[in-house]
Amino acid sequence: MREDLRYGLWKADCRGNAKPDPVESFGHQSLPWRGGATVNDVVLKIENLHVHYGSIHAVKGISIEVKKGQIITLIGANGAGKSTTLKAIMNLVKKSSGKVHFNGVNITDKPTHSIVQLGIAMVPEGRRIFPNLTVYENLMMGAYNRKDPDGIEKDLEWIFSLFPRLKERLKQPGGTLSGGEQQMLAVARGLMTRPKLLMLDEPSLGLAPLLVKEVFEVIQKIRDEAVTILLVEQNAYGALKIADYAYVLETGRIVLQGPGNELLANDDVRKAYLGAKG
């Protein structure tokens, strides 16, 4: 990919600012757990992150900022280091070096359960729901550490407004749901933890085109409720279309970054990830 900076994109080693995007209401007024900071405050800061799998250098010194109330996306081919970055944030894989701060707290070496308690939820690639538990039981697994029954009920109402089909299938085992419904359930379970930051790893993977469109629409609705999103996607077009800011990863490095709409219009990105011909 060429390093020209058409359309006002920043070089990969510069820190860019996504343009402001006001948080809009999605009609649910009683969810204060998502407040507490103004739009564009940095909620997640990754500095010079390196990750190795044995002799393989999977992530090579990336630095990323995620601002409150925005959708930040990481795009790139298989093996670019996108999913590894999410796992490193959650300490599901060991960092070789680098720092991670969440809302000003150094979480670099914190255990995964402590990171979840601070307000980060991750929906992993492949959904990983509990197939033998009902939809309701899967949702309650997300609320396992909560002790606020009234808040849980309010959050369920909001989730059912996002995913009406889950309410219709509340007593069904998760394993009997379609692929799209299982993805909805995985996202909904993550939301039941009351996250301030929701990290999604390939949520559109393996879904039919109509369901892919629905997934991206729901991600926007979640963002509009002031849940900040860090999205990893191979569907570059869908991800960039909804992203406030995006990072392009190649072989573990950030090679380009900028507002989503500008990357979507960039010739290099279009040729590499959107199938455009030069």
CA 22 to chain centre: 19
Q: Which residues contact 83 (CB under 8 A, 6 or more apart)?
A: 125, 201, 202, 232
pLDDT at 13 over 90: no
Contact 89, 47 (CB under 8 A): no
Contact 57, 74 (CB under 8 A): no
- The tens digit of pLDDT for each residue in 113-131 reads 999 999 999 999 887 899 9
Quick one: average pLDDT of 168-176? 95
Determine the pLDDT at residue 91: 97
Determine the pLDDT at residue 69: 95
The DSSP output letter for 78 is T
CA distance 128 to 55: 28
Rounded to 10 deg, the angle between the 149-162 and 179-191 helix axes is: 150
Sign of CA dihedral 269, 236, 7, 250: negative
Contact 72, 40 (CB under 8 A): no
CA distance 87 to 207: 23
Quick one: average pLDDT of 56-71? 97
CB atoms within 10 A of CB 175: 11
Q: Which residues contact 164 (CB under 8 A, 6 or more apart)?
A: none
Quick one: average pLDDT of 199-214? 91
pLDDT confidence of 38, banded at 50, 70, 90?
low
CA distance 185 to 203: 11
Quick one: average pLDDT of 132-151? 92
Q: Among 8-17, 41-50, 73-82, 264-273, which stretch is predicted with the lowest mean pLDDT?
A: 8-17
pLDDT at 145 over 60: yes
Contact 63, 44 (CB under 8 A): no
Determine the pLDDT at residue 17: 41
Determine the pLDDT at residue 147: 85
pLDDT confidence of 164, banded at 50, 70, 90?
very high
Tell me what percent of the residues of the chain surpass a pLDDT of 90. 74
CA distance 269 to 262: 10
* Residue 74 CB-density burial (10 A; 0-12 exposed, 13-18 middle, 19+ buried): buried
What pTM, to 2 d.p., does this model score?
0.84
**Nearest CA-CA partner of 183 in 155, 216, 151, 152:** 216
Determine the pLDDT at residue 16: 39
Average predicted confidence (pLDDT) for the chain: 86
Q: Which domains does the chain have, with CATH numbers?
A: 37-119+195-278 (3.40.50.300), 131-193 (no CATH)
Residue type, 82: K
| 207 to 44, 180, 218: CA distances (angstroms) | 29, 6, 14
